A and B are shown apart, each in its own frame.
Chain A
Amino acid sequence: AQSVTQLGSHVSVSEGALVLLRCNYSSSVPPYLFWYVQYPNQGLQLLLKYTSAATLVKGINGFEAEFKKSETSFHLTKPSAHMSDAAEYFCAVSATGYSSASKIIFGSGTRLSIRP
C-alpha cells in the first residue's frame, strides 16, 4: 500500500530564506510522486511531479524536488522564499499503471508561513 508522511505540519521561514518541506513515501511499486499547493480558499494546484524520469524535478514558481529512492524521500525546496509562497503544501503518491491503485494518496499537509 502507498502512503506519504509529511514532516512538520507548520513551517515558518523568513522572506529570502531557503524553503524545505519534507516528505517521505512508502510504496510497494515504483511510485509517481507529486507536490500540490493550496492557496487560501482555493483548490489544489499541481506544483511538480516525478514520474520515473529525472530524479530532480523542477516545478512552477521556482520550486523543485529531488526523488531519493534510498531515503524514500521527495523533499520540496525553493532557494529564496517569497511572501506569495505562503500556502499549504501537500505531498502525494500514486502507484504506476492503470490499476485501481493509481489513485493518489495525499499527506496531511504542511502550512508554510513567510516572515517579512
Chain B
Amino acid sequence: DADVTQTPRNRITKTGKRIMLECSQTKGHDRMYWYRQDPGLGLRLIYYSFDVKDINKGEISDGYSVSRQAQAKFSLSLESAIPNQTALYFCATSDQGHGYTFGSGTRLTVV
C-alpha cells in the first residue's frame, strides 16, 4: 500500500457542487499539507496542519476548507466548486518539514 493515499484519483464535477478530496497516510507523520498544481505555476499551498488540533491557511485558501479527522487523515473540501479550481491536487506529509512524501494526486475538473 502507498504511504500517502489520495481518493479519488480523478473527478469531474459541476460548477456549484460540493466536493471532498481525501488523504490518508501510514507514515505516522504529524504534518500534512494540501497543494494544487497548475501548469507553469508549480505547486501552491492551500492548507497545512501540524497536528490534529492545528489548521493553517496557505497562500491560496480562498474557496477551500479542510478537516483533520485524525493524525492519519486530512481532507480538502470545495464548498461550491468553480471552473478555475480545475487542477491537480496533491496531499503530502512530512516530519519536521525536512522533505515531503506525496500522494499520487487527484485530478479535478470543474465543468
Contacts and interface: CB of A to CB of B under 8 A. Distances in A.
A binds B: yes
Interface of A: 9, 32, 34, 36, 42-46, 49, 51, 90, 94, 98, 100, 102-109
Contacts, number: 55
B102 interface: yes
Tell me if B's interface is mostly helix, strand, loop or mixed: strand
Contact of A43 (B56, B99, B104): B104
A109 B98 contact: no
Contacts of B44: 106
A94 B97 contact: yes
Interface string B1-31: 0001000000000000000000000000000
Interface residues of B, number: 26
Given A43-B104, A43-B105, A51-B98, 12 more contacts: A9-B40, A32-B97, A32-B98, A43-B102, A44-B102, A46-B100, A46-B101, A100-B56, A104-B33, A104-B94, A109-B40, A109-B42
A45 B94 CA distance: 13
B58 interface: yes
